[in-house]
């Protein structure tokens, strides 16, 4: 699937016959509260570059005999759910991809990060936005280190969302 879903219509008078290829910006979403910060940074970077956005949903390792989860499955849509309203407001073209965490834990500290980078490069990404406090092996520091060893793509770290109490405590009785 190499098409992008656009939330906006093309500009009137835009030259459609000569389209310059723009490399997508990838946002790594791991079904955490920090996904909103990752999407905000990715939208800002994609808008500045005039590039589409690739949403990579991080999923757990599939059972040994199960098939791969496709980007349009219910599990992947649940992970991407926090990002879609923000993309609709921004009007950025996007597509989704699924990354399955490796089932084997003994593959080394950088194994999951290298596999994530392979997924991004497979989809033509030149820039990844990853949460600083991402899941083990997929945090920004580990992914940056793997990108340096691998030789790319660039990795941008998104700061985690500051914690705030959801409600004031009940007064004592």
**Which of 140, 157, 133 minimizes the C-alpha distance to 33?**
133
pLDDT at residue 14 in the model = 45
**Considering the chain, what percentage of its residues have pLDDT values greater than 70?**
75
pLDDT tens profile 128-167: 999 998 888 899 999 999 999 988 899 999 988 776 666 6
Indicate the angle between helix axes 111-122 and 140-150, nearest 10 degrees: 70
Cα distance between residue 119 and residue 160, in whole Å: 23
Establish whether the linkage from the previous residue to 153 is cis, with ω within 30° of 0.
yes
pLDDT over 50 at 53, yes or no = yes
pLDDT over 90 at 91, yes or no = no
pLDDT over 90 at 27, yes or no = yes
Contact 112, 137 (CB under 8 A): yes
| Lowest-confidence region among 9-23, 49-63, 132-146 | 9-23
Instruction: In the chain, count H helices and then E strands.
Output: 5, 5
């Amino acid at each position: 699937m190499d098409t992008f879903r656009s939330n906006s219509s093309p500009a009137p008078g835009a030259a459609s016959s000569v389209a310059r290829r723009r490399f997508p910006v990838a946002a790594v979403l791991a079904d955490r509260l920090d996904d909103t910060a990752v999407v905000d940074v990715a939208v800002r970077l994609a808008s500045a570059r005039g590039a589409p956005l690739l949403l990579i949903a991080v999923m757990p390792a599939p059972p040994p005999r199960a098939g791969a989860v496709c980007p349009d499955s219910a599990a992947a849509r649940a992970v991407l759910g926090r990002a879609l309203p923000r993309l609709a407001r921004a009007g950025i073209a996007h597509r989704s991809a699924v990354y399955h965490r490796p089932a084997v834990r003994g593959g080394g500290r950088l194994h999951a990060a290298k596999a994530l980078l392979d997924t991004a490069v497979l989809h033509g990404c030149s820039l990844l936005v990853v949460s600083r406090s991402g899941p083990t092996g997929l945090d920004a520091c580990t992914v940056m280190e793997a990108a340096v060893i691998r030789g790319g793509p660039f990795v941008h770290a998104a700061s985690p969302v500051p914690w705030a109490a959801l409600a004031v405590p009940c007064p004592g009785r």
